[in-house]
Amino acid sequence: MSDMIHVTMEYSNAVLVALLPIFSDFAKKLDLPVPNPVTTNHVQRFVTGGPVIEGHPIDVKGHLVLTNGYEFWYSWGHVDDFRSPRDYFTAQDVERVPEFYGILRLDQSEAVALARKALTSVGYAKHLPMLRKKPSEVRGPKRFKEHIIPHYRITWKAKDRGQGTVDVHVDGERGIVTGLFTASTNLWRSPPTIPVQPELESHYRRRLMEGQEIHRREPLPERRPSP
Protein backbone atom coordinates (compact mmCIF):
# COMPACT_ATOMS: atom_id res chain seq x y z
CA MET A 1 0.00 0.00 0.00
CA SER A 2 1.44 3.40 -0.96
CA ASP A 3 2.14 5.98 1.69
CA MET A 4 0.32 9.31 1.89
CA ILE A 5 1.27 12.87 2.72
CA HIS A 6 0.02 13.85 6.14
CA VAL A 7 -1.28 17.36 5.55
CA THR A 8 -1.04 19.99 8.26
CA MET A 9 -2.48 23.49 8.03
CA GLU A 10 1.04 24.88 7.80
CA TYR A 11 1.90 22.67 4.84
CA SER A 12 -1.44 23.30 3.08
CA ASN A 13 -1.02 27.08 3.38
CA ALA A 14 2.54 26.89 2.05
CA VAL A 15 1.44 24.87 -0.98
CA LEU A 16 -1.42 27.28 -1.67
CA VAL A 17 0.90 30.29 -1.60
CA ALA A 18 3.30 28.52 -4.00
CA LEU A 19 0.58 27.47 -6.45
CA LEU A 20 -1.52 30.65 -6.63
CA PRO A 21 0.87 32.39 -9.08
CA ILE A 22 0.90 29.25 -11.25
CA PHE A 23 -2.89 29.07 -11.35
CA SER A 24 -3.02 32.82 -12.09
CA ASP A 25 -0.62 32.45 -15.01
CA PHE A 26 -2.55 29.49 -16.42
CA ALA A 27 -5.85 31.39 -16.21
CA LYS A 28 -4.30 34.46 -17.84
CA LYS A 29 -2.97 32.44 -20.78
CA LEU A 30 -6.44 31.04 -21.41
CA ASP A 31 -8.06 34.44 -20.86
CA LEU A 32 -10.37 32.95 -18.26
CA PRO A 33 -12.78 35.29 -16.43
CA VAL A 34 -11.10 34.94 -13.05
CA PRO A 35 -9.32 37.59 -10.95
CA ASN A 36 -5.69 38.09 -11.85
CA PRO A 37 -3.69 37.58 -9.85
CA VAL A 38 -5.68 35.04 -7.90
CA THR A 39 -5.29 35.71 -4.17
CA THR A 40 -6.43 33.97 -1.02
CA ASN A 41 -9.48 36.28 -1.01
CA HIS A 42 -10.73 34.47 -4.13
CA VAL A 43 -10.31 30.96 -2.68
CA GLN A 44 -13.40 29.04 -1.66
CA ARG A 45 -11.60 25.76 -1.03
CA PHE A 46 -8.10 24.34 -1.36
CA VAL A 47 -6.95 20.77 -0.75
CA THR A 48 -3.50 19.27 -1.07
CA GLY A 49 -1.84 15.97 -0.23
CA GLY A 50 -2.27 12.60 -1.85
CA PRO A 51 -0.31 9.36 -2.33
CA VAL A 52 3.46 9.13 -2.46
CA ILE A 53 4.67 6.96 -5.32
CA GLU A 54 7.60 4.74 -4.47
CA GLY A 55 10.69 5.71 -6.44
CA HIS A 56 9.46 9.26 -7.07
CA PRO A 57 10.00 12.40 -5.00
CA ILE A 58 7.05 13.68 -2.99
CA ASP A 59 4.84 15.51 -5.46
CA VAL A 60 3.22 18.88 -4.87
CA LYS A 61 -0.49 18.58 -5.58
CA GLY A 62 -3.36 21.00 -5.25
CA HIS A 63 -7.08 21.31 -6.00
CA LEU A 64 -8.29 24.90 -6.00
CA VAL A 65 -11.92 26.02 -6.07
CA LEU A 66 -12.50 29.74 -6.57
CA THR A 67 -15.46 31.70 -5.26
CA ASN A 68 -16.71 32.10 -8.86
CA GLY A 69 -16.85 28.32 -9.32
CA TYR A 70 -13.71 27.79 -11.43
CA GLU A 71 -11.65 24.76 -10.43
CA PHE A 72 -7.98 23.91 -11.07
CA TRP A 73 -5.84 20.85 -10.36
CA TYR A 74 -2.05 20.82 -10.16
CA SER A 75 0.27 17.81 -10.09
CA TRP A 76 3.66 16.74 -11.43
CA GLY A 77 4.77 20.30 -12.08
CA HIS A 78 1.85 21.56 -14.17
CA VAL A 79 -1.84 22.41 -14.16
CA ASP A 80 -3.35 19.20 -15.52
CA ASP A 81 -7.05 20.00 -15.18
CA PHE A 82 -9.35 23.00 -15.12
CA ARG A 83 -13.14 23.29 -15.20
CA SER A 84 -15.43 26.23 -15.47
CA PRO A 85 -18.96 26.40 -14.08
CA ARG A 86 -20.06 26.40 -17.74
CA ASP A 87 -18.47 23.01 -18.52
CA TYR A 88 -21.36 20.92 -19.80
CA PHE A 89 -19.41 17.65 -19.77
CA THR A 90 -18.60 17.76 -16.05
CA ALA A 91 -21.90 19.20 -14.81
CA GLN A 92 -23.28 16.70 -12.32
CA ASP A 93 -26.84 17.96 -11.84
CA VAL A 94 -29.28 16.99 -14.61
CA GLU A 95 -31.45 19.91 -13.53
CA ARG A 96 -28.78 22.19 -14.98
CA VAL A 97 -29.11 20.88 -18.55
CA PRO A 98 -31.38 23.76 -19.71
CA GLU A 99 -28.60 26.19 -18.73
CA PHE A 100 -26.55 24.83 -21.62
CA TYR A 101 -29.12 25.30 -24.38
CA GLY A 102 -27.95 27.75 -27.02
CA ILE A 103 -27.09 28.51 -30.61
CA LEU A 104 -24.31 26.65 -32.40
CA ARG A 105 -21.86 29.21 -33.79
CA LEU A 106 -18.72 27.08 -34.20
CA ASP A 107 -18.52 24.10 -36.53
CA GLN A 108 -16.37 21.10 -35.61
CA SER A 109 -13.22 22.31 -37.38
CA GLU A 110 -13.43 25.68 -35.63
CA ALA A 111 -13.93 24.01 -32.25
CA VAL A 112 -10.88 21.77 -32.82
CA ALA A 113 -8.81 24.79 -33.84
CA LEU A 114 -9.84 26.58 -30.65
CA ALA A 115 -8.85 23.55 -28.58
CA ARG A 116 -5.41 23.42 -30.23
CA LYS A 117 -4.98 27.16 -29.67
CA ALA A 118 -5.73 26.76 -25.97
CA LEU A 119 -3.17 23.96 -25.61
CA THR A 120 -0.62 26.10 -27.43
CA SER A 121 -1.35 29.11 -25.21
CA VAL A 122 -0.56 27.19 -22.03
CA GLY A 123 2.60 25.71 -23.59
CA TYR A 124 1.43 22.10 -23.77
CA ALA A 125 1.02 21.60 -27.52
CA LYS A 126 4.75 21.49 -28.29
CA HIS A 127 5.12 18.47 -25.98
CA LEU A 128 2.19 16.58 -27.53
CA PRO A 129 2.88 15.73 -31.20
CA MET A 130 -0.44 13.87 -31.43
CA LEU A 131 -2.18 17.24 -31.57
CA ARG A 132 -0.96 17.63 -35.16
CA LYS A 133 -3.30 14.80 -36.11
CA LYS A 134 -7.05 14.70 -36.12
CA PRO A 135 -8.68 14.19 -32.71
CA SER A 136 -9.36 10.62 -31.69
CA GLU A 137 -12.93 11.55 -30.84
CA VAL A 138 -15.23 14.56 -31.00
CA ARG A 139 -18.48 14.47 -29.06
CA GLY A 140 -21.24 17.03 -29.50
CA PRO A 141 -23.06 19.12 -30.18
CA LYS A 142 -26.24 17.43 -28.93
CA ARG A 143 -29.88 17.99 -29.63
CA PHE A 144 -32.34 17.61 -26.76
CA LYS A 145 -35.94 17.76 -27.90
CA GLU A 146 -36.19 21.08 -29.75
CA HIS A 147 -33.03 22.48 -28.13
CA ILE A 148 -29.37 22.41 -29.11
CA ILE A 149 -26.58 21.93 -26.58
CA PRO A 150 -23.70 23.56 -28.51
CA HIS A 151 -20.81 22.00 -26.62
CA TYR A 152 -17.91 19.92 -27.94
CA ARG A 153 -15.71 17.41 -26.14
CA ILE A 154 -12.50 16.99 -28.16
CA THR A 155 -10.16 14.12 -27.28
CA TRP A 156 -6.71 13.12 -28.43
CA LYS A 157 -5.38 9.72 -27.33
CA ALA A 158 -1.87 8.49 -28.05
CA LYS A 159 -0.65 4.92 -28.02
CA ASP A 160 2.42 5.80 -25.96
CA ARG A 161 1.97 6.72 -22.29
CA GLY A 162 4.19 9.78 -22.65
CA GLN A 163 1.67 11.69 -24.67
CA GLY A 164 -1.27 10.05 -22.94
CA THR A 165 -4.69 11.65 -23.27
CA VAL A 166 -5.94 15.20 -23.69
CA ASP A 167 -9.53 16.40 -23.39
CA VAL A 168 -10.67 19.93 -24.26
CA HIS A 169 -14.25 21.09 -23.79
CA VAL A 170 -15.47 23.93 -25.99
CA ASP A 171 -18.59 26.08 -25.77
CA GLY A 172 -19.61 26.28 -29.42
CA GLU A 173 -21.87 29.26 -28.87
CA ARG A 174 -19.55 31.58 -26.96
CA GLY A 175 -16.36 30.31 -28.59
CA ILE A 176 -14.55 29.61 -25.32
CA VAL A 177 -12.81 26.69 -23.66
CA THR A 178 -14.75 25.51 -20.63
CA GLY A 179 -12.58 22.59 -19.53
CA LEU A 180 -9.17 21.06 -20.16
CA PHE A 181 -7.74 17.77 -18.90
CA THR A 182 -4.33 16.25 -19.57
CA ALA A 183 -2.83 12.92 -18.54
CA SER A 184 0.66 12.90 -20.04
CA THR A 185 4.11 12.28 -18.58
CA ASN A 186 5.46 14.49 -21.38
CA LEU A 187 4.12 17.44 -19.42
CA TRP A 188 5.73 16.53 -16.10
CA ARG A 189 7.98 19.26 -14.71
CA SER A 190 9.63 20.05 -11.40
CA PRO A 191 7.18 21.47 -8.86
CA PRO A 192 7.87 24.64 -6.87
CA THR A 193 9.90 24.37 -3.69
CA ILE A 194 7.71 24.29 -0.59
CA PRO A 195 9.35 25.75 2.54
CA VAL A 196 7.50 23.30 4.78
CA GLN A 197 8.72 19.71 4.68
CA PRO A 198 5.70 17.36 4.50
CA GLU A 199 5.40 14.38 6.81
CA LEU A 200 4.43 10.95 5.60
CA GLU A 201 1.25 9.43 6.97
CA SER A 202 3.16 6.40 8.21
CA HIS A 203 5.45 8.65 10.25
CA TYR A 204 2.49 10.57 11.62
CA ARG A 205 0.74 7.39 12.73
CA ARG A 206 3.91 6.18 14.39
CA ARG A 207 4.13 9.43 16.35
CA LEU A 208 0.41 9.23 17.11
CA MET A 209 0.95 5.85 18.71
CA GLU A 210 3.63 7.48 20.84
CA GLY A 211 1.15 10.10 22.06
CA GLN A 212 2.28 13.01 19.85
CA GLU A 213 -1.03 13.68 18.11
CA ILE A 214 -1.41 16.54 15.63
CA HIS A 215 -4.48 17.59 13.66
CA ARG A 216 -5.13 15.99 10.30
CA ARG A 217 -6.63 17.45 7.14
CA GLU A 218 -8.46 15.53 4.44
CA PRO A 219 -6.41 14.23 1.48
CA LEU A 220 -6.67 15.56 -2.04
CA PRO A 221 -9.94 14.27 -3.54
CA GLU A 222 -10.00 12.24 -6.70
CA ARG A 223 -11.33 13.95 -9.80
CA ARG A 224 -14.89 13.27 -10.79
CA PRO A 225 -14.79 11.33 -14.06
CA SER A 226 -16.24 13.07 -17.07
CA PRO A 227 -19.46 11.47 -18.34
In this predicted structure, the answer to whether residue 9 has a pLDDT above a threshold of 90 is yes
pLDDT of residue 85: 95
Q: Domain extents for the chain?
A: 1-77+197-227, 90-188
| Higher-scoring residue by pLDDT: 77, 220 | 77
The CATH number that domain 90-188 falls under is 3.10.450
Q: What mean pLDDT is reported for the chain?
A: 90
| Higher-scoring residue by pLDDT: 101, 145 | 101
| Higher-scoring residue by pLDDT: 202, 38 | 38
**Burial class of residue 126 in the structure, from the number of CB atoms within 10 Å of its CB (0-12 exposed, 13-18 middle, 19+ buried):** exposed
pLDDT of residue 198: 86
The percent of residues above 90 in pLDDT, for the chain, comes to 73
| Higher-scoring residue by pLDDT: 37, 213 | 37
| Prediction pTM value | 0.87
Give the DSSP per-residue string, the chain.
Answer: --EEEE--HHHHHHHHHHHHHHHHHHHHHTT-SS-SS--GGGEEEEE---EE-TTSPPP--EEEEETTS-EEEEETTEEEEEE-TT-GGG---GGGGGGG-----S-HHHHHHHHHHHHHHTT-GGG-GGGGSPPSEEE--EEETTEEE-EEEEEEE-SSTTT-EEEEEEETTTTEEEEEEEE-GGG--PPPPPSS--EEHHHHHHHHHTT------PPPPPPPPP-
In this predicted structure, the answer to whether residue 225 has a pLDDT above a threshold of 80 is no
pLDDT of residue 215: 52
pLDDT of residue 220: 59
pLDDT of residue 53: 80
Q: Are 152 and 169 in contact (CB under 8 A)?
A: yes
| pLDDT (tens digit per residue) in 129-175 | 999 999 999 999 999 889 999 999 999 999 877 789 999 999 999 99
CB atoms within 10 A of CB 79: 24
Pairing of strands 51-52, 3-6: antiparallel
In this predicted structure, the answer to whether residue 188 has a pLDDT above a threshold of 90 is yes
pLDDT of residue 224: 57
CB atoms within 10 A of CB 101: 14
